[in-house]
Amino acid sequence: MAQNIGFISTRFAGQDGVSLESAKWAEVLWDDRHISYWYSGQSDRNPDISYIVPEAYFGFSENQWINERIWGMDQRDRFVTERIRSLADYLKGTIYHFVDKFDIDLLIPQNCLAIPMHIPLGIALTEFLSETRMPAIAHHHDFFWERTRFSVHSVPEYLDMSFPPKLSNMRDVVINQEAQEQLALRKGISSLVIPNVFDFDNPPDPADEYASDVRKELGVADDDFFILQPTRVVPRKGIEQAIKLVSLLKDPRCKLVISHEAGDEGYEYLGMLEQLAKEEEVDMRVVADRVGEVRHRDSEGRKVYTLWDLYLHADFVTYPSLYEGFGNALLEAIYFRKPILINRYSIFVRDIEPKGFRLLTMDGFVTPSLASRVRRILTDEKLREDIVEHNYEVARQFYSYSVVRSNLRAFLASLVGY
């Protein structure tokens, strides 16, 4: 029997992990004819099946006012408590309305009961689930104890109560084993690991006419080596190691292309990278102004491409992150059949590496021997094909939509008897 599923988060828009993975879950649920509806503060989903409440967005002014007064200090004013309660009560009313409007059978909170960027929304959702006993599957991407900015605060009772709550009508899903262990240790909550996934049963289409000129537009010649760093410019991405790799390749045809912008954590890191690239004589270009969430033309009439358009043209992908909750760019590179260099961050070592991929790995820094292996892969087409085809088949086994499908079917059976 088809169910009406209600996804809830502060935002369903853009290329963040929560927005991307929730859309994949909805796609898998639709295969069984379950219809998804969306409650959030910001949304790029179909308006006909969306319920947008601006106050539910983590960047809403009232929520920002609250956050400024609860993080980084160990005591809060009574007036702050009243404002938290007031916003939580209002949001709870909007959740009731959302559920009534779309006749929702089951809720899927997406990270809003894990990372406390919007305390009132977490409280509202917890109380709604307690009051209604509505079945729920909470999808947790990252927890507050994984982020140092949430380590000093004045809201211990709210974190205990709602991030996440321990409810018999709710099943908990995490994206890696470390999160599973910590959730059990800290909260006494058992959970299931469902990794991030990709539709490996349906390979990507080749570049179409729109994307045919990506190299030309980005200034990468046909005989250049297009080395893609498909991330934002933030320190934990370890981009200085990508620069070091290109430096050690000692080939002017190697162009390091960074797809996304800086700014989330300031521009000092980008300045450091630009200085390093200059010193190492590496041709690095940040092309964020030419990459968007959807294809369009900018104010100067230039084409703006998607990240997927860039993957189709890349020769090699660098992913030297120091830490990732899972690592979507790794799956993307494998999906587009690209060889990849990856730093052995902790979640990769525990959850991904044992699966048997053929990847170029580093332990914190690039070595000359690693650079020579990259050089061989760039120039040996047969070796490159063997590697990417092997990785694709491994990923299809462990990270395809079927992994989500089987687990969600089991959850639905246990919660709603179907």
Q: Decide if 112 is inside a domain.
A: yes
Q: What digits encode the pLDDT tens for the residues 129-183?
A: 999 999 999 999 999 999 888 999 999 999 999 999 999 999 999 999 999 999 9
Contacts of 353 (CB under 8 A, 6+ apart): 344, 361
Q: Cα Rg for the chain, rounded, in angstroms?
A: 22
Q: What is the pLDDT of residues 38-72, one digit of tens each?
A: 999 999 999 999 999 999 999 999 999 999 999 99
- 291-295-299-303 Cα dihedral, nearest 10 degrees: 70
- For residue range 294-312, list pLDDT tens digits in order: 899 999 999 999 999 999 9
For residues 180 and 229, state if they share a domain. Answer: no
- Rounded Cα distance between 113 and 365, Å, is 36
Same domain, yes or no, for 270 and 365?
yes
Same domain, 95 and 146: yes
Q: Give yes or no: residues 316 and 381 share one domain.
A: yes
83 assigned to some structural domain: yes
Same domain, 270 and 193: no
Mean pLDDT of 347-372: 96
Q: Do 268 and 341 belong to one domain?
A: yes
One-letter amino acid for residue 123 of the chain: I
**Same domain for 380 and 362:** yes
Q: Please check whether residue 203 lies inside any domain of the structure.
A: no
pLDDT of the residue at 418: 60
**Is the pLDDT score of 15 beyond 80?**
no
Assess whether 240 and 334 both reside in one domain. Answer: yes
Provide the residue range defining the domain that includes 346. Answer: 210-398
Is residue 311 domain-resident? yes
For residue 115, being part of any structural domain is answered with yes
CATH number for position 151:
3.40.50.2000
Query: Is the separation of the CB atoms in 5 and 36 below 8 Å?
Result: yes
- 38 domain-assigned: yes
pLDDT of 289 over the 70 cut? yes
pLDDT of 385 higher than 80? yes
| pLDDT digits 0-9 by tens, 65-76 | 999 999 999 999
In a domain, 264, yes or no: yes
Six-digit token string for 150: 């949430």
CA 141-319-214 angle, 5° bins = 105
CA dihedral for 291, 296, 299, 300, sign (positive or negative) = positive
Does 277 share its domain with 247?
A: yes
Type of residue found at 339: P
Is 347 a member of any domain?
yes
* 132 and 166 together in one domain: yes
Label residue 265 by pLDDT band (50, 70, 90).
low
Residue 321 CB neighbours (<10 A): 21
| Claim to verify: residue 62 and residue 169 sit in the same structural domain | yes
| Same domain flag for 100 and 158 | yes
User: Domains in the chain: how many in total?
Assistant: 2
The region that residue 404 occupies, defined by phi over 0 for left and psi between -120 and 50 for alpha, beta otherwise, is alpha
Q: How would you list the strands of the sheet with 283-286, edge to edge?
A: 283-286, 254-258, 225-229, 316-319, 340-343, 360-362
Task: Count Cβ atoms within 10 A of the Cβ of residue 200 and give its class: 0-12 exposed, 13-18 middle, 19 or more buried.
Answer: buried
Taking only the tens place, the pLDDT of each residue in 201-237 is: 999 999 999 999 999 999 999 999 999 999 999 999 9
pLDDT at residue 417 tops 80: no
